[in-house]
Amino acid sequence: MSHLRERAWRPVVAVLLLCAVTAACAPAAAPQQRPVSAAATAPSPTEDASTHEAHEATASAGSEQEAEAAPVALRRGERRTTIAVPSAYTPSAPNGEGTDDYRCFLLDPELPQDAWLTGTDIRPGNPDVVHHVILYKVDAALLDQARAADRASDGPGWTCFGGMGLEGELDKLDDAAWLGAWAPGGRETVSRDGYGVGLDTGTRIVMQVHYNLLAGVAPDRSAARIRWVPQDAPAGSDIEAVHTVLLPAPVELPCRPGRDSGPLCSHDASVADAKARFGEAAGQTANLLHLLCGTEVTPTDTTTCDRVLPRDMTILGAAGHMHLLGRWITVVANPGTPREQQLLDVPIWNFDDQAATPIEPLRLRAGDTVQVTCHHDQEMRDLLPALQDAEEKYVVWGEGTTDEMCLGILQAVFDD
């Protein structure tokens, strides 16, 4: 992959997506409820299967008290640890423009030994302003850089449009450092028996929170409960490592005829606007994705990207992500061949229900093609209150709630 293609996807990892382990996870059996704040809670001691019922998250002071969904019971050998933003953070537009703030917080799960991550339960502290939450594993090579970014910023955390905002993070889309995520419709996720994500002793986790300032400005202190199994325990001896494969595609949605005279109704103007709001690297993603996908800048409501898999793997599940103008999304393996297989088909996109889809394990080989396709529609502006006051613009890939994305996610077990 060329240097430019590597740069093309780095900011992509800032996207919201349902749990990086979600596609390989079974949703919690408990009824889905609106997440409640964990702002007033500090990280609790690690729990094991015999003590997990003692854990109760506390709602933030001054917030409306709502009942939480009960955590899924721990399985044999599992433990649960809570991590949380160290102190309340009040979001704002980092560059003085736009209506979005991405903030990263460096957290320590205090793992005493190598472990398998087998589930996540992310609790947005203020769901009214939290657009998404992503958990990343921080490699040892990046830890000093993350600590420096944290120290250099006022208040907890640091600005992180484009992944964790660290140089050298994630060398490829084919094995992203995601551990889990929350988006509207998300709830606790638990891996299938026999699968997990490897965490070394002393691993740190970055919690990236995307705040939607259109919903207001209010303090947040999000938290997450992670479940894990010691790798050297009997329950951890047969677990296989799960990996996340990201499949981004460009977005090139033009303004509607008769409404195309505005200052942002061209590709170049929209990209320049994204750079002003998110910085040069994240704003340039709209162009760089065309290098990754081998496509041209062409106005269209339907975009696609074909990716050739670099290794043999078994797909366990799939998910998709778009924003408010999305209408449908598909992910297909080996399209147009006798081996064509539908991995994901969401015919009616619902931003408030971005649950992943487990599938029967599917073996794919190195050299196979996986295609993601998304359809967006400017007519949604007339239907959604969140966009009715927003100026119509040529929509490209962008980090903001009023921008768009086209992203497929695969959970896979690699042969190697």
Strand ordering across the sheet containing 313-321: 243-248, 407-414, 313-321, 357-364
Is residue 388 a contact partner of residue 339, using CB atoms and an 8 Å limit?
no
Is residue 343 a contact partner of residue 333, using CB atoms and an 8 Å limit?
yes
Q: What's residue 18's pLDDT?
A: 35
Angstrom distance (rounded) from CA 404 to CA 321: 9
* pLDDT at residue 219 is higher than 90: yes
* pLDDT at residue 361 is higher than 70: yes
* 416 token code pair: 């190697």
Q: How confident is the model at residue 270 (pLDDT cuts 50, 70, 90)?
A: very high
* pLDDT at residue 163 is higher than 90: no
More confident residue, 278 or 315: 315
**Domain segments of the chain as ranges:** 3-55+69-241, 243-414
* Highest-scoring range by mean pLDDT, 7-16, 26-35, 250-259, 396-405: 250-259
Residue with tokens 């140089």: 167
More confident residue, 57 or 385: 385
Q: What's residue 392's pLDDT?
A: 94
Is residue 98 a contact partner of residue 11, using CB atoms and an 8 Å limit?
no
Instruction: Determine the residue type at 79.
Output: R
Angstrom distance (rounded) from CA 283 to CA 268: 11
* pLDDT at residue 37 is higher than 70: no
* pLDDT at residue 53 is higher than 60: no
Q: Calculate the average pLDDT of the chain.
A: 83
Q: What's residue 47's pLDDT?
A: 61
Q: What's residue 46's pLDDT?
A: 63
* 294 token code pair: 């081998």
More confident residue, 28 or 93: 93
Q: How confident is the model at residue 106 (pLDDT cuts 50, 70, 90)?
A: very high
More confident residue, 171 or 156: 156
* pLDDT at residue 10 is higher than 70: no
Q: What's residue 267's pLDDT?
A: 98
Q: What's residue 17's pLDDT?
A: 36
* pLDDT at residue 87 is higher than 60: yes
Mean pLDDT over 257-262 rounds to 96
* pLDDT at residue 60 is higher than 70: no
* pLDDT at residue 229 is higher than 90: yes
Provide the percentage of residues in the chain whose pLDDT is more than 70.
82
* Highest-scoring range by mean pLDDT, 58-67, 368-377, 398-407: 368-377
Q: What's residue 140's pLDDT?
A: 84
Angstrom distance (rounded) from CA 137 to CA 142: 10
Of 75, 83, 35, 80, nearest to 59 by C-alpha is: 35
Contacts of 169-173 with C-beta under 8 Å, sequence gap 24+, read 169/10, 169/13, 169/136, 169/139, 169/142, 170/10, 170/13, 171/6, 172/1, 172/6, 172/9, 173/9, 173/12, 173/245, 173/246, 173/247, 173/248, 173/307
Same fold, 3-55+69-241 and 243-414: yes
**What is the CATH topology of the domain spanning 243-414?**
Jelly Rolls (2.60.120)
* pLDDT at residue 29 is higher than 80: no
Q: What's residue 354's pLDDT?
A: 75
Give the model confidence (pLDDT) of 290-316 as tens digits: 999 999 999 999 999 999 999 999 999
**What is the CATH topology of the domain spanning 3-55+69-241?**
Jelly Rolls (2.60.120)
Handedness of CA 308, 346, 121, 123 (dihedral sign): positive
Q: How confident is the model at residue 48 (pLDDT cuts 50, 70, 90)?
A: low
Residue with tokens 């010691």: 230
Angstrom distance (rounded) from CA 11 to CA 283: 9
Provide the percentage of residues in the chain whose pLDDT is more than 90.
61
Work out whether strand 341-346 and strand 326-333 pair parallel, antiparallel, or are unpaired: antiparallel
More confident residue, 60 or 318: 318
* pLDDT at residue 38 is higher than 80: no
Least confident of 18-27, 69-78, 168-177: 18-27
Residue 201 neighbours by CB distance under 10 Å: 11
More confident residue, 184 or 224: 224
Q: What's residue 169's pLDDT?
A: 63
Q: How confident is the model at residue 138 (pLDDT cuts 50, 70, 90)?
A: very high
